[in-house]
Amino acid sequence: MSRRRTTSLAALMTLAISPAPIGHATEPNDAMQGMDMPGMTMPTRSIVHVPKPGAENQTKASATGKKTQTQLMRSPPAPNTAQDGATPRLSGMSGMSGMSGMSGMRVRSPGRTAPASVANTPVHYINGVMPVMDQNRYFHGLLDEFEARYSGRGGEFRYDAQSWYGSDYDKLWLKSEGTVGTSGRFGDGDHEALYDHAISRYFDLQTGVRVDIDSGPTRAWGAVGVQGLALYFFDLEATAYFSDRGAAARLQGSYDILLTNRLILQPQAELNFYSESDRARGVGTGLSDIDAGLRLRYEWRRKFAPYIGVTYSGVFGQAAAMARSANTTVHNVNFTFGIRTWF
């Protein structure tokens, strides 16, 4: 390489790395424009003419078919002649032959979609059931009331529990409740075995049997009803019973008022109706009895919550007349404490 050729290249490199003068608009890659890198043709938007010594020799070289530095700087970028669906040619990377690992890469043209045969392929599920977790079976138990009640007439114990086993759609549901009174007799024994089926997002249909087993005579009933969450998330149970002794109905509801995330106030009420009186069990026609309460629980653990509250139990109509004749309590208000747990 001649001394004159070396001087020309040194002047070009000095211009490339020097900052642009004020008022001269450049692009991010202006500092690299004009650099003759083998295999790479870089587009140029601003042309800088630099006087070089020996320009007449470069002109002669141009006449013989050799590209000069100025001609290289003025060369436009190679056109991209790729058609739709073909692999576009990236002119700026044409000389990077050393990157053999990228030889199989293709650039997908915009607007291309999956073949119609793939888009229209139906999706098949096993037994027609989508693969979600609502078909798993679980067991759940709830001891909603396990409490002692005290009043001026003495104390009594009451429990109310239920459990179920099954999936989100079908379950076997068991319920049991009862009271041990001041005399030590077990009364108000109600035990149910129900088949539960989801009929909507918030309610289940339940049907099965109810058996009254306690210190009194045993009674058996058929049962059908609904259970779930009513408007504003009230827990609601409405069940109708039927037997050779007539029909009966029960309406029960509760609501959780979150004072804090763990301190919860729960009003609750249960009403029982009968179409026929049963003196042996102390029930009368119409509204027979009410059991209600206001309980304040603290969820020490989510599965374990002690509570205190005030409860009311009373009988009405024919049932009240039967209670007076038997010299038992008609209306009773109790101070209550107990625990609520589930698993």
Residue-by-residue DSSP string for 106-139 = -PPPTT----HHHHTPPP--GGG--SSGGG--EE
The secondary structure element, H or E, covering residue 55 is helix 55-63
Q: Is residue 97 domain-resident?
A: no
The per-residue pLDDT for 328 is 85
pTM of the predicted model over 0.75: no
pLDDT of residue 88 exceeding 90, the answer is no
Query: Distance (Å, rounded) from C-alpha 234 to C-alpha 226?
Result: 13
Confidence of residue 67 (pLDDT cuts 50, 70, 90): very low
Q: What total of structural domains would you count in the chain?
A: 2
Residues 69 and 159 both lie in one domain: no
71 and 150 in a single domain? The answer is no
Helix (H, G, I), strand (E, B) or coil at 43: coil
Residues 251 and 165 occupy one common structural domain? yes
Q: Which domain holds residue 277?
A: 136-342
Q: Same structural domain for residues 147 and 281? A: yes
Computed over every residue of the chain, the mean pLDDT equals 77
Look at residues 76, 99, 120 and tell me which one is the last residue of a structural domain.
76
Give the three-class secondary structure for 14: helix
- 168 and 316 fall within a common domain: yes
Do residues 235 and 268 make contact, with C-beta atoms less than 8 angstroms apart? no
- Is there a single domain that holds both residue 61 and residue 151? no
Query: For 228-268, how does the pLDDT look when each residue is reduced to its tens digit (9 = 90+)?
Result: 999 999 999 999 999 999 999 999 999 999 999 999 999 99
Cα separation, 332 vs 315, in Å, equals: 9
pLDDT of residue 116: 59
Q: Whole-angstrom Cα distance, residue 307 to residue 300?
A: 10
Q: Is residue 104 part of a domain?
A: no
Are 275 and 142 in the same domain? Answer: yes
pLDDT at 112 over 60: no
Which of the residue ranges 8-17, 20-29, 160-169 has the most confident prediction, judged by mean pLDDT?
Answer: 160-169
Which residues fall within 8 angstroms of residue 156, CB to CB, at 6 or more apart?
148, 149, 179, 180, 181, 182, 334
For residue 12, the model assigns a pLDDT of 52
Residue 47 maps to a domain: yes
Whether residues 175 and 63 share a domain: the answer is: no
My answer on whether 63 and 164 are in the same domain is no
Q: Which pLDDT band holds residue 129 (cuts at 50, 70, 90)?
A: low
pLDDT classification of 72: cutoffs 50, 70, 90: very low
Give which of 165, 133, 160 is closest to 291, Cα–Cα.
160
CATH at residue 262: 2.40.160.40
In this structure, the answer to whether residues 69 and 158 fall within a common structural domain is no
Tens digit of each residue's pLDDT (9 = 90 or more) over 191-231: 999 999 999 999 999 999 999 999 989 999 999 999 999 99
Inside any domain, residue 109? no
Do 150 and 248 lie in one domain? The reply is yes
pLDDT over 90 for what percent of the chain?
55
Q: Where are the beta strands (DSSP E) in the chain?
A: 138-151, 154-166, 170-180, 186-198, 203-212, 219-229, 235-243, 246-254, 257-258, 263-274, 286-298, 304-315, 331-342
